[in-house]
A and B are shown apart, each in its own frame.
Chain A
């Protein structure tokens, strides 16, 4: 079951999240919805990310694959180079750099889609309809927790608490 609490102030929403966390609700059970980004203080509702790591790894992978590909093409159809090496790292360095950057760009976009949940929604959890300026906290709970959650949300300053 999902409950929602609507807040007008982000401090109140933060208070509700901290209170619920003390009751044993983890970040996976809590979602905040708003029309604009809401920045909570560190430790309120942190979402760890591996995006930077993925981007660097993708850039390196693209770079390596490009080096291998370019090397293959230069030997597959050898041009007359007048005794110069067929594969020249420096004169093709720009290609490696640009393709590494392409890898970083594509991976940051794909990882954004993944991490935001836009391409991996399995369970169709209900999405609250949020008015402009309102911060909506959605809580996943089981039957007997409904009363506790409702009370915590109201005590923290929710202007409306309802089932979703």
Chain B
């Protein structure tokens, strides 16, 4: 076994107390979130502070946020694969895993938001006893189709390049791991037919998944912009959301890489070079995000339409102004200063910027959703919103769940693709 394999398989072999020290409290937070959801299922959706006029709040903010995070992986990985960027190799699997887990978490929120989660299956088109069909014209059905397709695609996109690695692991593992790896390897032998087919499938999937990823967040944006509500009915919401999704996705990827680099001791493979490249991408997306934000807000301000200005005023000068300006600082000023000035750009500043961007992007979703709903066209219907402990618990638990799922994945599978990392050109003498 050579050095690369030994290094990349090492995290799978032993489990330190530090791993459990991180996993256990986070699992408890996840459990607390499940208890909160159970409480909501038992008592009804009223325990969340979702009421007229703010029907969409934390749950929808979380939904849009996590779907955005999911763009980390597959989209970035697909772009890097298609452009054959060599530096992508240690990054792609870490990114693809984020996508799958973030989508699983994000996809839960419409179900949580339903309140009566047990009738979720009504969305599925099947010939039921009342001869009812779902309304395919509804953007919520678009969501169901888009997210299901993206989740299936992302899972396959993560699984395909995993096959050669699990086949190798199956030869060396013992016990239940060996059984799992052998089943997942699907009988992979490493023949050129298999490699050719894998390469073709990955190229095709990269192209398809790019188209799906862009469409998914566009559809999520259309959930809002198809409504004739102030500051939602915007033609640029689709690309604005896609840019925001990639932006937050890159931030999540940088954070995930920093965590696994430190906890799994992969400093030799996830080098400052990788962080530098991702930091530059993050900076680029920050500039794109600020461009879209200005374009969106400037046109509203210049148009001076009274109903829109009510929401605009609430966002920039009123109740929601602290969130709005924190968002601007987090999404633009912090990355611009820390990553734009070359001397300041490092792994640490990339991490700080990523944390800031994740906070900023969560606030951005909040700023988009809540002010518009709390300031409907009829002034008599105005309302306010503050989250209940149930909503906060479930929101916090999803972050913990993400880390738990990610850490468990990193313990079961090599987080860096071994066969991609080792191009077979020339080998040393035996």
- Residues of B near A119 (CB, < 8 A) are 186
Cross-interface CB contact of B428 among A45, A76, A106, A133, cutoff 8 Å = A133
Q: Assess the A117–B194 pair: CB atoms within 8 A.
A: yes
A-B residue pair count with CB separations less than 8 angstroms: 169
Number of interface residues of A (CB under 8 A): 56
Q: Assess the B427–A133 pair: CB atoms within 8 A.
A: yes
Cross-interface CB contact of A31 among B192, B204, B215, cutoff 8 Å = B192
Interface code A27-64, partner B: CB below 8 Å = 1, 0 otherwise?
Answer: 00001111111100000010101011001000000000
Q: Assess the A94–B201 pair: CB atoms within 8 A.
A: no
Contact of A133 with B2 at beta-carbon distance under 8 Å, contacts A51-B200, A105-B152, A112-B200 already known:
yes
Within 8 A of A (CB), among B413-430: 419, 422-430
Q: Assess the B152–A115 pair: CB atoms within 8 A.
A: no
Cross-interface CB contact of B196 among A9, A34, A49, A106, cutoff 8 Å = A49
- Residues of B near A104 (CB, < 8 A) are 204, 208
- Residues of A near B430 (CB, < 8 A) are 8, 131, 159
CA distance in complex: A73, B193 (Å)? 43
Cross-interface CB contact of A51 among B160, B164, B192, B204, cutoff 8 Å = B204
- Say whether A164 faces chain B, with CB atoms less than 8 Å apart: no
Contact of A51 with B201 at beta-carbon distance under 8 Å, contacts A31-B192, A95-B141 already known:
yes
- Say whether A91 faces chain B, with CB atoms less than 8 Å apart: yes
- Say whether B20 faces chain A, with CB atoms less than 8 Å apart: no
CA distance in complex: A36, B201 (Å)? 16
Closest to B190 in A: A33
Q: Assess the B426–A109 pair: CB atoms within 8 A.
A: no
- Say whether B135 faces chain A, with CB atoms less than 8 Å apart: yes
Q: What are 16 A-B pairs with beta-carbon distances under 8 A?
A: A10-B424, A10-B426, A31-B191, A35-B419, A36-B424, A38-B195, A49-B197, A76-B131, A94-B145, A104-B208, A105-B152, A111-B197, A112-B160, A112-B198, A115-B200, A134-B427
B residues contacting A by CB (< 8 A) are 1-2, 5, 125, 131-137, 139, 141-142, 145-146, 148-149, 152-153, 156, 160, 164, 168, 186-201, 204-205, 208-209, 211-212, 215, 219, 222, 419, 422-430
Per CB-CB distance, the 3 closest pairs between chain A and chain B, nearest first, are: A133-B427, A116-B197, A73-B133
